[in-house]
Chain A
Amino acid sequence: MVTDITKKLDKIFHERARLGVMSILVASEKDVSFSELINDLELTRGNLSVHIKILEDNGYVKSKKEFVNRKPRTTFRVTKTGRKAFEEYLKLLEQIVKNVNG
């Protein structure tokens, strides 16, 4: 049973950093900046960029680039697909915990 659920789990979220990015974006209704994600996740710029790219390529995260006071600012938000996939992932995690306990 647990093996079946495990197969369904979205491998994208297995990575700790990506799971962290998704958790923050799902919890934040507004766009979250690159710097805020760095602060919260304690990752390097390069490392975070790699994980964001994977999430973007899968359509889970959308980025917005703009200039604020002539300075570039990149913000991110979770897409509908991303939110749904994340909720699904969370449900499966809960099922794993319940099944083993049960």
Chain B
Amino acid sequence: MKQEEALEQIRLIREMMQKASHRFLFSPWQWIEWGVLIIIGYLTTYWLQNHGQPNHIIILWACIFIIGSALESYIWMAAARRRGIEPFNAFIVKLWAVAFAIMTMSIILSFIFIDLRQALYIPGLWLMTMGVVMVTFFILAERKDLLLFGATQMVGGILAVSFLLKHSMLVGAVFFGIGALIHGIYSLLKMKHL
């Protein structure tokens, strides 16, 4: 066997091993968890609009972001442990760094919208943000299912900031909350049937 052939074989092994690890990169439980949290978040926001202070809504979403991220990390680490792989390998770190960079921009824009008293744009902004994150994950991790989910979020985002601005919260709850729930349940059923 020549060196080129050996290198090609090693490259193929690496590629296949990485593909195998991508399969459990996103657990269906992560989607279900985010779906439930987002729906709770939107329902609580509706209630706080009449019964609370504006800053309570900011605190609520900060809590949802922290709880959701912590739960997601726990689910991911547990899955990685079960599979015997490094939970924070170079690929995962790269993936989350890209997602975090995109989300940081949206966090800053959210505060700008609040300051401008244009908070109704925030659900649409986050739908588009999550759409971009999902499509990025699709490109980097070759997860075809994320393309449809990401595209749906983008469409939801465009609707929320244009035609349905008055109902942007409802659009956010349906597209991201219920969308993530459906995606999670579908992935779970698909995993069991494969």
Contacts and interface: CB of A to CB of B under 8 A. Distances in A.
Interface in B65-87: 82-85
Contacts of B1: 2, 5-6, 9, 93, 96
A6 B1 CA distance: 6
Interface residues of B, number: 23
A28 B80 CA distance: 10
A20 interface: yes
B194 interface: yes
Nearest to B10: A93
B148 interface: no
B13 A19 contact: yes
A21 B20 CA distance: 10
A19 B83 contact: no
Given A20-B12, A93-B10, A96-B1, A29 B17 contact: no
6 contacts: A19-B13, A27-B16, A28-B20, A29-B84, A71-B193, A94-B6
Interface of B: 1, 3, 6-7, 9-10, 12-13, 15-21, 23, 82-85, 192-194
